[in-house]
A and B are shown apart, each in its own frame.
Chain A
Amino acid sequence: MRVVKVKNAVKRFMGATVLDGVSLEVDAGDRIAMMGPNGAGKTTLVRSILGFYHLDAGSICVEEHDPIRERVKVLASVSFIPQLPPPVKLTVTELLRFVERSTGTPVATVRSRAEEMALDLERHKHKPFFKLSGGMKQKLLIAIALARKSRLLIFDEPTASLDPKAREHFYRLLEAQGHEYAAIYITHRAEELEGLVNRHITMDLGRIVEDVRV
């Protein structure tokens, strides 16, 4: 099944072309490692898939839906982890409540995912999210993203601030996802994701310059 279809996407910021005619198709079961130098347009591409940007040309479909006009439908089946953990001021409890109410994912599910990531949420539940350590934030974001059982995962450098053990947990959780999903991992170290991915995409200067199955 086709999960994402990007057709000739062009995005300019103040005259600078950041996406220069990107076309990309992602099918269910595709696990993509997306690479490329800083400023290549990787984050811009995934943000466009999430409906944050209005394209200057081209189109994007996520499971037949337009990510801007039908954002609720699209985002209901997408889990996203941003490049840097955002300094969310909600407490852990409030954040989990937000997740539960907006996505229908029970707090208990997130909590057990967090436990599998060796993160004890009970101890930190009254802390504002931004006061957690960098690694803890990352773990919680991963726990939330995986608890949602989404059909599309978009992780912008998910392992950047994880210690080696946490990285292990992360891989194990991904392998244990009991349902079909497609994933786009943005990374600068493809070797870290070896075994998890089956497709390598490289971007440069707003274009996809390489797309190979491995």
Chain B
Amino acid sequence: MKNLFLVAYLDIRESLRSKWFYVYAFVFGGLMGLFFISGITDSVVMGFTGLSRLLLVFMQVTIIILPIFILVTTVKSISGDRESNILEYMLSFPISLKEYYWGKFLGRFVTVFFPVVVALFIGVLWGLVKGGELPWAMVGLYSALIFSLCLVFLGIAFFISTLVKSHDVGLGLSFTVWIVLLAFLDVALIGLMMQNRLPDGLIISIAMLNPLEAFRIGAIALFDPELTVIGPVAYYLLDTLGHDFLMLYAVLYPVLLGGLFALFGYYLFKRKDLL
């Protein structure tokens, strides 16, 4: 266990020295901070809707940026370590594969999630200073949703990095996963609905298997409990699942999926050649 934290700590130190981290922290943390700050400020003036509209925009940005950022930087760093023989050297020391793999995972998770927490914190502070009414439950749930989103893509990234050895193939696969998940958010789904006469329930279930969809619906449900933004699907979802279950699903499903991918990755890491 002590080596697990050591590996995590060193990974965090390394990330803190890398440029991608600052770009990421700046883009993502900055965006989030901005939206929260202006959202909270606005909400004092305009009431609830001011905050909501900004959150909606921010959510769209998150859905697009966060996954690709996590996938690319993680796959790049892990398969990069393997290709440049850093992995060979570090693993020639007596630490178990378990400690190494999960230590890396923990380290990565902290670096990915940290800017988000800081941005949230700044937003909340700003809100307190401005004296606005803070939507605590919303802030908390939104953080939980982002936590799950980080986790699921980290899990997929670790899985990809252990599945394919080559850096380029890994990156290619990351982009493919990202595009497919984005496409199935809307476009592909609609196409599917129109061409094949599949039952609505099935189509919606498939859509809900997409962790991005789970996040999107969870995030929308936060400030639009009737889900009017997403159209008729909303009735189906709310009728069959209910609002609370939907929220629970949006938070827990990605965590489970990410954990599962990370576990598969670990299994491959142990079973296949390390280099």
Contacts and interface: CB of A to CB of B under 8 A. Distances in A.
B13 interface: yes
A140 to B, nearest CB: 11
B82 to A, nearest CB: 10
Given A90-B14, A98-B6, A101-B6, 4 more contacts: A71-B94, A71-B97, A82-B92, A102-B94
Given A53-B273, A76-B94, A88 B10 contact: no
Contacts of B271: 54
Q: Which range contains the number of B residues in contact with the other chain?
A: 20 to 34
Contacts of B95: 72, 102
A84 interface: yes
24 contacts: A52-B88, A52-B273, A53-B274, A71-B94, A72-B94, A72-B95, A74-B94, A75-B92, A75-B94, A80-B92, A82-B88, A82-B92, A86-B89, A87-B84, A88-B86, A88-B89, A89-B18, A90-B10, A94-B13, A97-B10, A98-B6, A102-B93, A103-B94, A128-B17
Given A54-B272, A82-B88, A101 B14 contact: no
A166 B92 CA distance: 24
B141 to A, nearest CB: 37
A62 B227 CA distance: 62
A91 B17 CA distance: 10
Nearest to A48: B273
A128 B17 CA distance: 10
Given A84-B85, A102-B3, A54 B273 contact: yes
Given A88-B89, A102-B3, A128-B17, A53 B275 contact: yes
Nearest to A100: B6
A53 B90 CA distance: 15
Interface size class of A (residues with CB under 8 A): 20 to 34
Interface of A: 47, 50-54, 71-76, 78, 80, 82, 84, 86-91, 94, 97-99, 101-103, 128
A128 B18 CA distance: 11
A122 to B, nearest CB: 20
A94 B89 CA distance: 14
Contacts of A71: 94, 96-97
